[in-house]
Amino acid sequence: DQQPGATLRCKVSVIGDAAVGKSSLLQLFCNKMVKFPKRYVMTNGLDLKVKMVRIPDSTSTVELYLFDTGGHPAYDSLHKKCWAGSSMVMVVFDMANQSSFESAKKWLQEYQKAIFPLSVKGVVVGTKADLKQSNSIMVNPNSVLDFANEHKLRYFETSAKETQGIDDPFHFIAGSFYSSYVEEVKQITNSDA
């Protein structure tokens, strides 16, 4: 059995084009900001945020190290260095911007190359879900689900503006990381028996 109060550390690479909402998502989750940041400030290079997530029905927590790499092509060389050693990925795209979804596919390919031979684990996050009401959503949800399923990733829709669904992808990542840890411990324990 696991020791009470264990803290697990999980490195998460947050990837996607510039201006898709990665930083807003992280700010709202980590800082519990009540309001959506009105001004866009591009991430220069790398932004690291750390947030503890308590695992339900356990005494454990997962400390998420969230690496938000700037989505601008100028930071391409930095990405691979930052992605090394990642346990999970959060692929982010703007639901009202088809090209950001197409780019998300390329981001994931680059991430896969950077972490090879490890397998990709994590989530796909569609931001700006509030635009559904104005029929501004351009990305076909079925295409996103197909993409997520193909890569064994879970899909979430969020709205930083409406602060909806913000915590869900992060809690899923923490829970998945914890479950993987528990499975590893069981395998090690069973092989020693």
> What pLDDT score was predicted for residue 135?
75
Enumerate residues 6+ apart whose C-beta is below 8 A from 134: none
- CA dist., res. 11 & res. 48, Å (int): 10
Q: Could you count the other beta carbons within 10 Å of the beta carbon of residue 19? A: 17
Q: Could you count the other beta carbons within 10 Å of the beta carbon of residue 124? A: 26
> What pLDDT score was predicted for residue 180?
93
Q: Is the pTM of this model over 0.85?
A: yes
User: Phi first, then psi: what are they for 97, rounded to 5°?
Assistant: -135, 100
Residue 72 burial (CB < 10 Å; 0-12/13-18/19+)?
A: middle
Q: Name residues of the chain where pLDDT drops below 70.
A: 1-4, 33-45, 71-77, 192-193
> Each residue of 97-112: pLDDT tens digit?
999 999 999 999 999 9
Q: Which domains does the chain have, with CATH numbers?
A: 7-192 (3.40.50.300)
Q: Which structure tokens are listed for 61? A: 């927590």
